[in-house]
Amino acid sequence: MPTQMQQTATIIALTTLTVLAAVQILAACGLPVGRLLWGGAKRVLPVGMRWASVGAVVLYGVFAYILLVQGADLPLNGSGLIMVLSWVLFGYLVLATFGNLRSRSRAERYVMAPASAILAIATLIITLT
């Protein structure tokens, strides 16, 4: 049974992933949100980067699945594979946070870096509890 802290962290993580996926979908559709993504060089993403945004949405779905299994006590919770994937996800999110902090794009530094940090912290809480 998940703890209250784990449940809260799962809700925060899934909400953050949903918002990030929505931004990626908007970018993939050609809306001018590109300053938040992929280094912030393009306001409207070119076609190749739009496909990368579609890939990011799929990746966010995988992240959500890992966090749901771990944080909502779904089948496979506690399995070695899910535990390893949770730690890999945490490491990825820490690296993403630092990458976003180093971005030339102010929007990426001030919006995406905190989002990555929130996800990293929530992932750590979900994994440890």
Output the tens digit of pLDDT for each of the chain's 129 residues.
Answer: 678 899 999 999 999 999 999 999 999 999 999 888 988 888 999 999 999 999 999 999 999 999 999 887 777 666 788 889 999 999 999 999 999 999 988 999 999 999 999 999 999 999 997
Closest C-alpha to 100, from 82, 122, 85, 115: 115
The C-alpha atoms of residue 99 and residue 83 are separated, in whole angstroms, by: 24
**What pLDDT is recorded for position 3?**
84
The C-alpha atoms of residue 117 and residue 129 are separated, in whole angstroms, by: 18
**What pLDDT is recorded for position 65?**
94
With H, G, I as helix, E, B as strand and everything else as coil, classify residue 98.
helix
**What pLDDT is recorded for position 76?**
67
